[in-house]
Amino acid sequence: MKSVPYTVEVIDKLRWNSHLGKHSHFYASQKGRHLHILCGIPIVVINLILGSVFFALLGTDLPDWSKWVGAILALIAALLGGVQTFFNFKKSYESHREIGNEYLAVARECERLIALYFDRILDLEHLSNEIESLNTQYSSINQRAEEHIVSERAYKKALDTQNKKTEKEPSLIQKVQAIRTEVGN
């Protein structure tokens, strides 16, 4: 039985790692988006309440407790706005999504090259020439990703997702090896 060339295995490993990076950053993006919404909606609601209800009652004598409620609501809105500004959840989750999409592009290119090799459209020499370009692209994404840390929880969730995906959808290399095993028997 003919084995899969190491060059193809290297590209397949890069494909797998790229998918893992994609999942990690997509999960981190979801968390950042959730935090952005968690802070943003109360800010909008509080400002609506303060802006409409208290503005409408401006000419009337308000009880002391309502002034305190207004002050506390304004303080909460300012605090949430400060947290949202400081952590910049929106920029963070957008950056994670962009990095995830870049990893996805590398993974798809790896899949395309492996398919071209097994379809005998691309020979091993040409395939090996593509590794340098893929590694450079992957390394560049990794350098940009260093600014956008993925939590251990997001990474573990991504690893679990990638492992389950691998079980449900074998890679092209696994499919070729299975076919070669059947033909060999």
* Dihedral angle of Cα 89, 92, 94, 95, to the nearest 10 degrees: 180
Domain ranges, ordered by start, for the chain: 6-184
Comparison of pLDDT for 117 and 63, the residue scoring more: 117
Average pLDDT over residues 130-141: 95
Comparison of pLDDT for 70 and 154, the residue scoring more: 154
Average pLDDT over residues 150-162: 94
**pLDDT tier for residue 32 given thresholds of 50, 70 and 90:** confident
**Residue 182 predicted with pLDDT over 80:** no
**Residue 60 predicted with pLDDT over 50:** yes
CA distance 109 to 167: 21
The pLDDT tens digits of the residues spanning 67-84 come to 777 778 888 888 888 888
**Residue 25 predicted with pLDDT over 50:** yes
Planar angle of CA 130, 136, 139, nearest 5 degrees: 135
- Identify the burial level of 82 via C-beta atoms within 10 angstroms of its C-beta, where 0-12 means exposed, 13-18 middle and 19 or more buried: exposed
**pLDDT tier for residue 114 given thresholds of 50, 70 and 90:** very high
Residue closest to 21 by CA, chosen among 173, 144, 185: 144
